[in-house]
Amino acid sequence: MIVYLDGKYVDSSEAKVSVFDHGLLYGDGVFEGIRIYGGNVYRLDEHLERLEMSAKALMLAVPLDRAAMTEAVLETCRKNNLADGYIRLVITRGAGDLGLAPWLCEKPTLFIIASKISLYPQEHYDNGLSIVTVPTRRISPDMLPPTVKSLNYLNNILAKIEARQAGALEAIMLNQQGYVAECTADNIFIIQKGTIITPAASAGALKGITRGTIFDIAVELNIPIREGDLTRYDVWCADECFLTGTGAEVIPVVKLDGRVIGTGKPGAITASILQSFRKRVRVEGTRT
């Protein structure tokens, strides 16, 4: 496997970063997870825009401009002959000393990995996921904006551990007010009397690229969609529920905290959204 690292394409065995890198020492950095389908990188420009915004929020300089970053992503895919897979793009503050001071880090580290992805087993797309609400709350926007896709994923990792302990593959995280924020690596949507509702970024949701696609699909399919505060009760009593993410795509949820959602089977609207999503990823995207 060939990895892009600070301007060079190197074998993965040589793709190493310093133990003084603040991405490692403090989680000081940002990342993106991107999909490539049939040789087309899905919504690359939107991912790069989100990366730039995350970096701006952390006052971290992006080492390449948009065009150069686009080319680096595409070239990493080409060098690995990757037509279908997962791209991880990471920018860290770079190597510094053992104090927090980011201004002592001379230059950011940038690396791009183009690889395969492990997906949820097909049975969960066919039958729906059973998820739980976990005790760990989502970091609130006045602490570390959840819209920043930073290398600080401890909050989500604790939630992921709690999900596993409860026997679930994914979990709902509530915000400080007790409303649904999102899942550990996925956004959440419910369908209530024909309307799609999802928590706003201000409620603690990442502005997911897949989430954005759902808004476009809703317009295409003529289904009303809006952002709104959701309680656990709203999800328990929804007609349908699904999660979205770069890895998960669109996956139905049929149970939350032991309560059966809707009929207990993946819903018809969710199925039509998933169908439209799968069609879009084949035709949209930047050709490698």
Active site residues: 149
Position with the least CB separation from ligand PXG? 247
Q: Which is nearer to ligand PXG, 206 or 217 (CB)?
A: 206
User: What residues form DSSP beta bridges with 109?
Assistant: 92
Residues in touch with ligand PXG (CB under 6 A): 33, 156, 182, 185-187, 206, 208-211, 244-247
Nearest to 153 by CA among 184, 117, 186, 177: 184
The set of residues, in sequence order, having a beta carbon less than 8 Å from that of 156 and lying 6+ positions away, is: 173, 184, 185
Tokens of 147: 């819209």
Residue at token pair 């001379």: 106
Q: Collapsing DSSP states into helix, strand and coil, what is residue 222?
A: coil
CB of 70 to ligand PXG, least distance (A): 17
Torsion of the alpha carbons at 58, 61, 66 and 68, rounded to the nearest 10: -140
Give 175 or 187: the residue with its C-beta nearer to ligand PXG: 187
Pairwise CA distance, residues 149 & 152, whole Å: 8
Residue 79 · residue 288 · CB < 8 Å: no
User: Minimum Å distance from CB 140 to ligand PXG?
Assistant: 14
**CB-wise, 161 or 237, nearer to ligand PXG?**
161
**Among candidate residues 46, 30, 36, 118, the one with its CA nearest the CA of residue 77:** 36
Which residues face 40 on adjacent strands?
37, 287
**Residue 18, by phi and psi: left (phi above 0), alpha (psi -120 to 50) or beta?**
beta
Q: Which ranges constitute the DSSP H helices of 80-188?
A: 122-127, 154-165
Which of residues 145 and 267 has its CB atom nearest to ligand PXG in the complex? 145
Q: Measured from the CB atom, is 105 or 190 closer to ligand PXG?
A: 190
> Measured from the CB of residue 206, what is the shortest distance to ligand PXG in angstroms?
4
Shortest gap between Cβ of 193 and ligand PXG (angstroms)? 25
CB of 263 to ligand PXG, least distance (A): 26
